[in-house]
Structure 1
């Protein structure tokens, strides 16, 4: 049975953007086929169409963006003139930052944060800020007050999180690429829910944002969500030309699959004791068969981390919530009001307070996970896993107003594969490889060796070429112009 058209939304149109990815759009601007002004105007029109439906934008700068697009020579770089959004936990000069929380009064930033500066140096035109759940703690972009950000594939379902607004905007066709960041899966989860490519880089691959620098275990990486592998590869290559971490092997610009035969480990169930749901398992197993047909060796492997990892990461998650409440006035602004944080933040804070004495050992083990993972990866080029423990849930399932014990249980069942890459610092990529019975994307995850984003991109190119994933209503976009 086909999904009712009324539950889907997109704004692909017969305008200056068409259905181009960022690479194609940048080339059309560079050759003069379309102007940056025409593209920016088209993106703004799409954003206005999408705003009341998917609710992915929290702050806009449309007139300044138009003005910027009209200035000759104002856009330089490989993606000059391509419109984008920056996530609302990252400062952009002249735009407010609210962190998705009612406890924070958004203040206009006086400077652009280090990663946003690195990204925007590629020539993108920033249209505004995209939505996220409070402080990025949840796996669905649903505020306790206000409207949720909706999944364009089915408006009754979650778009994932924490980079939910970014993923919804890219999937719906508002922009071809958007900023995302990832402290436990927040690039890969919304990419998986919305049928996008989402790569979490190796720790230290891009410049650290302010929030990452003071953490005892730096679990945060910044990146992008895109509709094509080449956009992600192009972003990463040009980010590397702006900042090169000499402790990591260079990636370069990856343009396609390699001819190497790879040995890929297969993990179907998480170590947290919750089995993967049948539809997700089937998608991962089918992807393994695709890889074998491409000549790779795929074999089951043990989860490359200690059995204590889920509890240790949960405690660290709670520590972050405790830190936000305890130090919010210093971290954000003197008028930070901890009484206005949502139920998830409060619950994580309480959970941490009851177990805080375990933190030193948990941090030691989380730091040690880098070595455990590296040892397991000696015999493998990559690991194939689900992104999530089950298919995308409907809105409300992960709402912060759900009683904390229930919500926490749901989150640990759902977000059971992505945190490992954050603690170990390994690169990981989400790719849409299937479709659920609810006609929503189902994605798989590949994790790589430290510093080896190249292999992940090569795998992604091969799967994209041999088993291309759908773009939302791509076949019908022209009829909606």
Structure 2
């Protein structure tokens, strides 16, 4: 087993993003020192982790020498942006090489707000092709590897961000989630990953055009306070008046919660280690005074087929509209087997897409009923610990990939359909020492409740971090 960590006796030390912002404010470090340390760290570990797709080191160096031009709370803290949002001067390749890279002319709506917090991007991180797979294993560039054990996947689609934050390259990085892609790499890499409510953070124009907006932007971090501070700062820049404010969450709440616990996905019971970890987490909640009730999974069996068809329809739109969307260099023969297989699945079932999309939009009725009796839902984030690299090989047959993908990623898509928030916390480990995430979900707009509970659990059972 090979573990990879970049932590060093440099300006970054082992501080989280809030700690670095405080050090910058106190003048004990400079933004230039932080950026240089992060560049040194990524150059040290990326040959093993393979999470970097675009370098913007010179830009970051120039930005770090400016006198706090944006004035955001995180001004000067280094970060990365996932390679599926538009950042001016950087290409957006969406995890594929099916067209020729072209630098973006302007920041997209999300990057404009994200960079307004003062975070300094060192470049872009790798993802699976269009974010469709839960493992980033590019046929040409190779896999993004897990820093806890490089024989295993870092999860996806926000895999590069997850690997770099866990390994200590940066304390916080952009991630987004259309079927679990903030929570999956958080679970695989031992991180905090909150998928916010639909509409909480801006989306770029191409994602806003989806018939059902299943994608949400966010971050992965090593500490709850970093995630809480990020949402506080984003709310100051781009608040959605249709949602209850998150505010400045800094610790646990006194209120005891009614927690529903479910270890059975729509398709199957989670693996033995994962079930045991979930029940141990439930027992911890009981010791903390929360009321815990084990429930059956209330989601209709048809949900999986509907979500897969909608997922496939998104691939269909990208493949069939590739030249119009990505330019004349688009070449569908350079797409991987999962993307092409999803395209075929949608093409065969286009007549079923409207009804499937309508049912997905209505599934929130199920969770609304659930939350009349419970405040929070606890499930595993994933059905099993992180698999070995190659388990979701994109050069395998579509049938093999999709069967394995649906089997493993069985819990996370629900909140993408309902628009509800959910957070993965690294509360457990497998016998082999790999992180296992526990996922907590709540009604729309109740991110503060999840963050308060996360603070409480982090205090009660601090999670391991690399190097460990």
TM-score normalised by the shorter chain: which range applies?
over 0.9
Give runs of aligned pairs for residues 110-189 of structure 1, distance below 5 A. 110-189=105-184
Matched, 1:94 2:84: no
Equivalent position of 1:331 in the other structure = 325
In structure 2, distance between residues paired with 1:27 and 1:85: 20
Q: Are the equivalent residues in 1 in contact too, given 2:274–2:380 (CA < 8 A)?
A: yes
- More divergent stretch after superposition (205-214 vs 392-401): 205-214
Q: Are the equivalent residues in 2 in contact too, given 1:248–1:451 (CA < 8 A)?
A: yes
- Residues 73-103 of structure 1: CA distance to partner in whole angstroms, max 9, x if unpaired? 3352111110000000111111111111121
- More divergent stretch after superposition (8-17 vs 243-252): 243-252
| Corresponding pairs, count | 468
Equivalent position of 2:98 in the other structure = 103
In structure 2, distance between residues paired with 1:331 and 1:192: 33
Structure 1, gaps ≥5 residues long: 475-481
Q: TM-score, normalised by structure 1?
A: 0.96
Matched, 1:45 2:22: no
In structure 2, distance between residues paired with 1:115 and 1:73: 20
In structure 1, distance between residues paired with 2:297 and 2:421: 16
In structure 2, distance between residues paired with 1:386 and 1:104: 37
Matched residue of 1:85: which SS? Answer: strand
Selected match of 1:463 from 451, 457, 465: 457
Shift of 1:181: 0.3
Equivalent position of 1:351 in the other structure = 345
Equivalent position of 2:218 in the other structure = 223
Shift of 1:258: 0.4
Matched, 1:368 2:362: yes
Matched, 1:413 2:411: no
Structure 1 runs of 4+ aligned residues shifted over 6 Å read none
Selected match of 1:60 from 51, 55, 59: 55
Q: Are the equivalent residues in 1 in contact too, given 2:156–2:181 (CA < 8 A)?
A: yes
In structure 2, distance between residues paired with 1:182 and 1:351: 22
In structure 1, distance between residues paired with 2:172 and 2:115: 12
Equivalent position of 2:386 in the other structure = 392
Q: Are the equivalent residues in 1 in contact too, given 2:86–2:204 (CA < 8 A)?
A: no
Selected match of 1:265 from 256, 260, 267: 260
Matched residue of 1:129: which SS? Answer: strand
Matched, 1:27 2:22: yes
Matched, 1:285 2:276: no
RMSD: 1.0
Give runs of aligned pairs for residues 316-327 of structure 1, distance below 5 A. 316-327=310-321
Q: Are the equivalent residues in 1 in contact too, given 2:260–2:377 (CA < 8 A)?
A: yes
Shift of 1:467: 0.2
Q: Are the equivalent residues in 2 in contact too, given 1:429–1:456 (CA < 8 A)?
A: yes
Q: Are the equivalent residues in 2 in contact too, given 1:383–1:448 (CA < 8 A)?
A: yes
- Residues 138-179 of structure 1: CA distance to partner in whole angstroms, max 9, x if unpaired? 000111222211100001100000000000010111000000
Matched residue of 1:199: which SS? Answer: strand
In structure 1, distance between residues paired with 2:445 and 2:203: 16
Shift of 1:306: 2.5
Shift of 1:212: 2.1
Matched, 1:245 2:254: no
- Residues 357-391 of structure 1: CA distance to partner in whole angstroms, max 9, x if unpaired? 21111011011112222122111111000101111
- Residues 262-302 of structure 1: CA distance to partner in whole angstroms, max 9, x if unpaired? 00111111112x22100111111100000000000010223
In structure 1, distance between residues paired with 2:443 and 2:125: 31
Selected match of 2:377 from 377, 383, 386: 383
Equivalent position of 2:249 in the other structure = 254
Matched residue of 2:448: which SS? Answer: helix
Q: Are the equivalent residues in 2 in contact too, given 1:141–1:164 (CA < 8 A)?
A: yes
Q: Are the equivalent residues in 1 in contact too, given 2:70–2:116 (CA < 8 A)?
A: no
Structure 2, gaps ≥5 residues long: none
Q: Are the equivalent residues in 1 in contact too, given 2:172–2:221 (CA < 8 A)?
A: yes
- More divergent stretch after superposition (67-76 vs 14-23): 67-76
